[in-house]
Amino acid sequence: MKIERELELEEGSLVILQAYYDIQKIKEKEIQKTPDLNILSKALFWDTDIQHINWKRQYRAVIQRVFERGNTNDKDEISRFYGSEKVKQALKESNIRSPYTLYRSHKTTD
C-alpha cells in the first residue's frame, strides 16, 4: 500500500497487476506441454500419432526412445523439455544397455 500511495495508484492496483502476471505465467506453462515438435525427428515416433502422446504420463517411454534412436538435437530437446534430472532418472530406471555392456556381458558368460 505504501508503494501504491507513493506512486499515486489506486489501492489494489499492484495486486491486480500481480494476478495478471501470475495468470500469464500459468498460460505460458500450459502452452509448453509438449516439446518442440519441429526439432524432434519425425522417424522417432513413426508408429505413433505424435499429437496423441501424453508427454507427462509417458515420459519414460519417450525419453527411452529418444535416447535409443534419436540424434543430438532430439536428445537436447527432450532434455530441455523434461529437465536433465528427470532424464537421468528415467534412463537409470530403464532396461537399456549400451552395446558395450551387452558385448562385455556376453564375453564374460563364454
Report how many domains make up the chain.
2
Q: Look at residue 38 in the predicted model and tell me its pLDDT.
A: 93
- How confident is the model over 72-106, as pLDDT tens digits? 999 999 999 999 999 999 999 887 655 544 444 44
pTM above 0.85, yes or no: no
Residues 90 and 58 both lie in one domain: yes
21 and 65 part of one domain: no
Q: In this predicted structure, what is the pLDDT of residue 96?
A: 60
Give residue-wise pLDDT tens across range 27-68.
Answer: 777 666 889 999 999 999 999 998 889 998 999 999 999 999
Pair (70, 97) in one structural domain: yes
CA gap 28, 22 in Å, rounded: 10
105's grid cell = 556381458
Nearby residues of 98 by Cβ (< 8 Å), 6 or more positions away: none
The domain of 38 spans 34-109
